[in-house]
Structure formats: C-alpha cells, structure tokens
Structure 1
Amino acid sequence: MTLEISPAARDALESWLTAARALKGNSENTITAYRADVLEFIVFLTSHHAEPQGLAPLARVTTPDMRAFLAHLRGQGVGSRTMARKLSAVKSFYRWLAELEGFEPTAVMMARAPKFQKKLPRPLAEDAAKAMIDTVEMQAADSWIGARDAAVVTLLYGCGLRISEALGLRGRDLPLGESLRIVGKGGKERIVPVLPIARRALDTYLRLCPYDPEPDAPVFRGKRGGALNPRLIQKVTEAARLQLGLPATATPHAMRHSFATHLLAAGGDLRAIQELLGHASLSTTQAYTSVDEVHLMKVYAATHPKAG
C-alpha cells in the first residue's frame, strides 16, 4: 500500500535537503540517505495516525510517537547503528523545521536510539601493508593494469586517501608534486603529502597506461578506457589478501586505516593525522589511539619479562 504524504511535508523535506546540500556541502549520497530516512519517518507517522501529516501535525510529534517509531524500526530488524543514523537525520530535519515554523521539537530531540558498539579500525601490520601492494600488482595479466592497481593501493596507504578520492583524481591533478589537494566528504578540502614511493607507483602506471591523461578524464582507467570501478580494486585486494593469508578485514579501506595507525605509532600528532585523513571530528580520529593501545598491550604481553 502506498501512503500519501502531504504536499506541505514533501515540500518541507525537499527545502531542507536543498539547504543541506547548499549550506553544508553534503554529498549526493548523503542527501539521498537523508531523504529516505526522513521520508520513512513521515510515512510512519502517516500510518501511525491514519492521516497525512502536514506541517502542523509534524510540529505536534510526541514522545510516544518517537517511541513507536523506534519500536517500528526494531520490529523491521533495523540494527542499532542504522537506527542511530535514521534518528540523526530526523533530528536534523526537525531542527531546521522548528526554526522555520517556530515550535519546540523537544520530543524529537530527546529521543534516544539504542547504543551500539563502535567497531574499531582494523589496520594491517606494516609488513602486511607492503606485501599487499606488491601482491596486488601481480594479480593482473596486463602489466599496465597491475601497475594501475598497485598505484591505487599505494595512494590509499601512502597518502591516507579514501578509494573514492584516489579514483577521483583527474588528468589536471598531474604531475603529482610533494603534496596533493583533495576534496573529500562534504566538500572538505585538505592537503596531503605525497611520498616518493607513491609518485613512482603512479608514474609507472602512467607510463604503461594506453590512455592519455586528459585534463578532465580520470587518471585511473578501466580496461576499455572508462573510469575505474572501485569494485575492481576491492576484488583485486581480496585476491591478494587470500594469497597472503590475511584476514577478511584486509580491505582497501584498511590501507587508509593502516596509514593512520602507523603514523600514530611513529609518534604522529593526532590533530595532524585528523587533517591528513580529512576527518571532520577529532573523535573519529581518536579511534586510532585505541587501536594503537591494543597493539602496544599485545607487544607488552609478548615481550615484557614480567608479563608472563
């Protein structure tokens, strides 16, 4: 059954999304998730109250309404992490709507999603990260494709790039110098240093690649010349980690985690690492301190003469 959403509620949702896109620089993926999450909430209220929810009913949402919504999500098998994300989107929408319409969104703001255990990053050991790069290069039959895959993974580990950021490089970004300007999530810009090993890996790929690096074209190409699909990097990394006997957590994103953890272990400053990774919040970067502490305790337990 398709439930009718009031035109006023739909217009308000689209106006909020437009503001979120313009003022906060949210990506299209984020906007799509926001739309789906808030629309799901409005649809629930429509069903819950058996009538379309215009702006006035939306302003009268109660604590029991919020409890019923969270119970509905649990009944749908929605996990705690996803539930927290959906509730966060609804709260953001209500903050905006309350300011626009002049009401107090207390019931929505006081709602609490169940707590979830935040998963810590799972970095590779330094020798495993280096072996991953070497092994990735050997997976392809064509030498230029092997060089391409190695260059991508080297940028993830050597510069701490997200896979989307590495694959987002264009011909106009070449040649790489000692630093690179990256536009990451939410349009946030950062400058990352480019190690000589990363430049060499990219130069090798460019020398072998049969496609010219035109200014507006992607640096990393697929076999037929189109933009490289990130799934191909995930597949080649999976093949390499199976060959090396590494755990399933040895993914392309784990190379970025490894970059951060190894910098921290070498005495890197947490604020500097936050900037290099492009994290909006220091709390996101602080997860790496927990990873490093776990590593240190394992080393301590294995090597300290009093630990046995």
Structure 2
Amino acid sequence: MRYGRHLARDRRRSAHTVRAYQATAERLLAFLRGHLGGPVGEAELKALSATDLRAFLAHRRSEGLGNASAARELSAVRGFLAYVGGEGASLPRVKGPRVKKGVPRPISPDEAIALAEDVSEDAAEPWIAARDWAVLLLLYGAGLRIGEALGLTGAVLPLGEAIAVTGKRAKTRMVPLLPPVREAIEAYVRLNPWGTARDAELFRGAKGGPLAAGVVRRSVRAARVRLGLGDRTTPHALRHSFATHLLGRGADLRALQELLGHASLSSTQVYTAVDAAHLLDVYRNAHPRA
C-alpha cells in the first residue's frame, strides 16, 4: 500500500505505527464500501463528510472500542485522509472522544535498584547478568525507552560523558551518562562473548542475536513477583521514575523534555502531576492531621 510506504519513507514512522495506520485505513475503506454502497476511490475519500466519519467511529465503537482506542483511530483516519487529499486538504471536523489521561506510576529509587539487582542475579551467566544490569540502568539512570536502549550499537563505544540516542521518528538526542551507568555498560562490554562491532546491536541475546524487548520484560516480570512489587513495575516504569525523580530534585521541565526525547512539552508536563501526587502521598502519610 502506497500509504504505508509514505509513512515509513517520508514520515519516518516506526514499523509498529505503519502497521497500525495501514490497518485503520483498510478498516475505513471496508466500512465505506458498505456505507456508500459502492467502490471507494480518491474522489469518494475527498468528498467524505463529518457525518461519514462519525458513522465509521460509531461502527468501531459498536465493536468494543474504548475512548482511548477510538481517539487513536480517529487520529489515524485524519492522517490517511490528509495523505489522500494532499497538502492543504480540508478535512471534515469531527470531535474525538474525551480521554482521561493516566498518570505514570514511578517506583522508588530503592525499588528500581532492587529490581535491577534481582534481574541481574537471576541471570544464567555472568555476561548476561552484566547485560541485564546495564540495560535496566540505562532505563532508570538515563531515561531511555526500552527500544532506544536495545537499539544502541557498538558505534557508541568508547563511551564518553554522553551518548547519542535515536528515539521516535528517528530523532537523535544526546543523553548524559552517569558514572554508574557508564561503568555498567563497560563491564558488560568486557564480558560480552559476541563482540561489539560498530554496526551491530550492543546488547545481545543468549545466542548472539539482538536482545529482544520481550526477554527484558519477562525478566522484570519475574523479578517483581519475587520482590512483591506491583504489576505497574515494568521496564517503562523505570523511565517514569527517572523523570519523576529528576523533576522532584528541581529539574527544569524543558531540559527534562530534551532528556526524554518528547516532541511536545505537554508529554513531559504529565510528570508534574506525578510529582504532585507523590507530595500528596508524603503529606497524607506524615502529617499528624492528614
């Protein structure tokens, strides 16, 4: 589908986003063939009204779509119609469902380190233990997404005070490395039996291939059960904790936006709610009249 190629090549969307947006476009076309009673081409798509889009959303809601998923579906439809209409296209105005924003749930510094230690201690071999320790410290100590950490290659070596990280939409940012994080990566590199070619993934699986995110998630899931931590203790929760703890120590919101690789400041501002929630918890637990 040309739309998928456009998303991947011109918009530099991830493979996951391309699949999701293509699937939405195909669902829309299938619905419109029945809704309009005939073939659907470029002319029909350009002539769609807000009523047509509301009918599609109602159809998707009847299939069990929740508010958040319906909002994402509408966003994908708008993107597809903008592609079909070309630059300056006028799109039907449809108000999306209201979505209640969830507040990220960070874990405490002690829990973050205990989690990383437990995952490392459960590893089958010393080099795997060093690998897992280094990966989880990158999430908690540098705020990387799991995909960003596993996307690092041997080109980041030798390590300096910061590393270049490629995030969403292929945007690159510089992320400072705290000494413990740098030391953890260097310890893994010394033990890694598969080498560190510049064009190969830095973190390897047990058989030498690229380390899969699912392996990390399963290890974290097992560790949180052993430690009695909640279900929200995931690899991504370590990134939330990085952001929340920095904000709690007085980090500037704009600087935090750069560190996290957020395209919009509104994505970073959610952590102000996290910090406020933490302060309220402290107040409730400590104040004699709370």
> One fold, TM greater than 0.5?
yes
SS in 2 for 1:176: coil
In structure 2, C-alpha distance between the alignment counterparts of 1:123 and 1:103, rounded to whole Å: 42
Question: Could you state the TM-score of these two structures normalised by the residue count of structure 2?
Answer: 0.95
- Return structure 1 stretches of 4+ with deviation > 6 angstroms: none
Contact 2:45 2:84 in 1 (8 A): no
Determine the structure 2 residue equivalent to 1:6.
none
Q: Within the alignment, does 1:46 sit opposite 2:29 as a pair?
A: no
Partner of 1:168: 151
Report Cα offsets for 1:153-196 as digits up to 9, x if no partner: 01111111111111111112112211011110001111100111
| Contact 2:152 2:203 (C-alpha < 8 Å) held by counterparts | yes
Count residues with an aligned counterpart: 290
Map 1:91-170; keep pairs closer than 5 Å. Answer: 91-99=78-86, 104-106=90-92, 110-170=93-153
SS at match of 1:286: helix
Query: Partner residue of 2:251?
Result: 268
Q: Kindly indicate whether residue 199 of structure 2 is the aligned counterpart of residue 221 of structure 1.
A: no
Residue 65 in structure 1 maps to residue 52 in structure 2:
yes
Query: CA, structure 1 residues 141+98, in 2 after alignment: closer, same or farther (shift >3 Å)?
Result: closer
Does the CA contact (< 8 Å) of 2:142 and 2:177 recur in 1?
A: yes
Q: Find the aligned partners of 2:38 and 2:151 in 1 and give their Cα distance.
A: 45
In 1, Cα distance between equivalents of 2:116 and 2:90? 54
Runs (5+) with no aligned partner, structure 1:
1-9
| Counterpart-to-counterpart distance in 2, 1:37 and 1:24 | 17
1:158/1:198 contact within 8 Å kept? yes
Is the partner of 2:256 in helix, strand or coil?
A: helix
Q: Deviations over 1:56-114 (max 9, x none)?
A: 221221233122111110111112111111110111222333345x86433xxx21232
Once the two structures are TM-superposed, the CA of residue 20 in structure 1 deviates from its matched residue by 3.6
Between the aligned partners of 1:299 and 1:180, the Cα distance in structure 2 is: 35
TM-score (norm: length of structure 1) = 0.89
Distance in 2, matches of 1:30 and 1:276, equals 23
Give 1:29 deviation, angstroms.
2.0
- 1:211 is aligned to 194
What is the RMSD of the two structures over their aligned residues, measured on CA atoms?
A: 1.6
Structure 2, unaligned runs of 5 or more? none
Report the Cα distance in structure 2 between the residues aligned to 1:57 and 1:218, rounded to whole angstroms.
Answer: 46
Map of 1:281 onto structure 2: 264
